[in-house]
Chain A
């Protein structure tokens, strides 16, 4: 053998790792084998391959048989064991404080987790579409911005703009007066009938633009066929169970076997700005003769979506629309001018923003609000802040008591790093324990939380990389910040000087502590005053005179086939029920959506007023409690009224017309091309038929027997149960085949403020938590501070100070901090809440009482907390406390 063959040196790092981890007894032979192996590999392969193989085999040795037994003779492990032991003993020694630490952190983590999930859900709307980032809805922004635009616009944009890739038009199935109308679908073969809401018409391109997963059939083909219907999976299950329903027929509102099931797709996720149950094609729609004007450029009556080429600039496209659209829109005069000078414009709304940022006329579903999301987020951060500050403040205050322990450790040979490690370990143990305990807490509270705030969160969604990372980051941050002071500052003293008796007063940090306390108080004050103001506003809304009487109004649905020609009979039958003082048939009820067209006085055709419309019978004013100011309410007795050529306007409509004495004046109501000529017969007082977020707009009322959707009955609050039972009996006599169902109008109106009510519930809970945590933290700090001042207090007592004087002495500083926090928080709160209130047209305003109450509450709570704790020390016999030296 060529004796001194040059040897190849395996990677040094790998050898180091092996010698670190491997059992000493096995190390030599393993190293030898690997070394020998490496020599062979290097002969045969490139250095790189050989290194990789070497690493692979080396890492393969990291198995139990070859690894060093941990803990038996490793210094590091022994030390960490002792740190853990000390941490555990420290926690057990002060169970109450540990419990409070944990509770505070668990609460904060849970709240943050929930709010994170909620925000995540609310911002996930329409994310599931493959092209979500390139799909925009066309909205028309005039003085009353609306979601609907003309049907031909969608495809015209595809034809004329290269950056528009695809477009689709859709429209919900509306009943008269723009109410989404449920349809009665029947499968005649098995006689299964369901009332199905959320039916839509859509262009053939629907499934190209929006992503839906097919279950049966081919949805794209389905939309090219006349009278073919695409069902959502859940709807298909209602009729056909698990079977493949393709080719089955369904009757549509009694029209036998009108529809053929051509495809079934998976239901859209809950986080969608619209969700259809069944869908027909515009191909079908276009075979119906009466739709002519509705499908033209004249009718802003369709939801249009465009999908741009990926990366196309939507803003640039938006800027091109005004110049382009006028070649199609046959507009002149003021409308054209408004479009050209930018007062009115077509906007492209990214679909992912619709849920949180769009709140226009005729939204497909009630959308969320970005502002509230912001409020939730800020509240969660406040709670977290308060909780972190608590933990930090209490840990640092407590650390001073452990100065002796540090001194002893240092004399026994602990160096600075070891003391540092100990404090860090303790902080990490507590925070991570809290994090781990927060998980079951969240799982346990998921259902109550969802119920309480009407939420859709699922805790399992927290197991995503970014959420885990955020919670982990917060935990590590909390631990490190809380351990910084003790591990650096306390650590900096010499063992000798500590044991000789370092003056506690020398220990700094109280300024920082007091500053953090102030931050906590500011956060708590913001939350308390904020929730009080939200509460005031909601109470204001609920008690505001809406211009009609919303209480005790029973609303029954009477739209659709079975009710035609029977409405009058039903009305009479219900009005005869004892306890019901009147019944009225209307197309829309306050709190719902209204359709909009325009009208003008025959004498001044250039003043055209956009106006909502409401079809109503002669009882409407009486039943709803609307005041008639001029003229009279509609009355069937007049031939013109029954013919729908008598109009009643509201005050705002009169103001928009700009003349005073309107009764008797001829008016033209322009339902697009259908110009209805008639006379104004009366004026009603303004009433808030929309939410109080928006001002009252012009309204025109007329009789139209075929357009009624609801029957409204005024019931007496006495004997309500009996009245409902007899109302049902009367209803069943006229309509035996229809189920009797009703709701109360005030409930529906409350729904308009659901988001507000939810925000109120959340902020009340969060402010309760925040004040609890802040007080708890204060309590902890004071009890530590008082302990340090026992001698001082005793000496003061000996020298003749009264309990009151001492109490004042102890309280003074903290009350000062509270006042300072108030001075800081109140302007911030006023600024923020003014901003929030501006989303309402009708505002309760900010009452100074709110801040008075908050201030009083905070000062009282602080004073009481401090006094309660210090009383024990103050009452103690000074001889007792002074003797210990």
Chain B
């Protein structure tokens, strides 16, 4: 089913949520993406991905306490679920296995950059 596939950006967000455990929420996920990948993303894009991932069951969330710097609003903290972990592992394995199947010859002499 299409709904349970991981998109490229979704996978990135899912990984970052894992990296930031247990303090992952919208804004710091975005900051982390920018720091780690140098990609410019809008806050809205991150939230959109988060809500999709939650719909697909890869993430779960709970509301934390209100803080002063948020103008008294609570933040929503995200956690990877078992299904999310499964999807990440599946993707990781698939990628490794495909990479290992590339014959030496195909990559010989190619320079990066």
Contact = CB atoms under 8 A, between A and B. Distances in A.
Contact of B44 (A31, A32, A57): A57
B52 A65 contact: yes
| Size bracket, chain A contacts | 20 to 34
Given A3-B68, A5-B68, A65-B51, A29 B45 contact: no
Contacts of B52: 65
A61 B47 contact: yes
**Which secondary structure characterizes the binding site on chain A?**
helix
B33 to A, nearest CB: 14
A26 B47 contact: yes
Contacts of B73: 28-29, 31-32, 35
B74 interface: yes
Contacts of B84: none
A35 B71 contact: yes
B17 to A, nearest CB: 14
Contacts of A57: 42-44
A32 B71 contact: yes
B44 A35 contact: no
Nearest to A10: B71
A3 B67 CA distance: 10
B48 A63 contact: yes
Contacts of A4: 68
B51 A26 contact: yes
B69 interface: yes
B47 A39 contact: no
Interface in A1-36: 1, 3-5, 7, 26, 28-36
Contact of B47 (A3, A5, A30, A35): A30
A63 B48 CA distance: 8
B27 interface: yes
B43 A60 contact: yes
A806 interface: no
Interface residues of B, number: 20
A29 B76 contact: yes
A34 to B, nearest CB: 7
Interface string A60-73: 11110110000000
A48 interface: no
B70 interface: yes
Contact of A34 (B43, B51, B69, B76): B43
Contact of B75 (A26, A33, A66): A33
Contacts of B48: 63, 65-66
Contacts of A34: 43
A738 to B, nearest CB: 73
Nearest to B27: A33
A37 interface: yes
A638 interface: no
A29 B26 contact: yes
Nearest to B75: A32
B58 interface: no
Nearest to B42: A60
A290 interface: no
Nearest to B45: A60
Interface in B47-80: 47-48, 51-52, 63, 68-71, 73-76
A62 B48 CA distance: 10
Contact of A5 (B45, B63, B69, B74): B69
A31 B66 CA distance: 12
- Of B51, B69, B70, the most chain A CB neighbours within 10 A belong to B70
17 contacts: A3-B68, A7-B68, A26-B47, A28-B74, A29-B26, A29-B75, A29-B76, A30-B26, A33-B25, A33-B43, A33-B47, A35-B73, A58-B44, A60-B43, A60-B44, A65-B52, A66-B44
Interface of B: 25-27, 42-45, 47-48, 51-52, 63, 68-71, 73-76
Interface of A: 1, 3-5, 7, 26, 28-37, 39, 56-58, 60-63, 65-66
Question: Top 5 A-B pairs ranked by shortest CB distance?
Answer: A60-B44, A32-B73, A60-B42, A32-B70, A61-B44
Given A7-B69, A58-B44, 10 more contacts: A7-B71, A32-B71, A32-B73, A32-B74, A36-B27, A37-B43, A61-B47, A62-B44, A65-B47, A66-B51
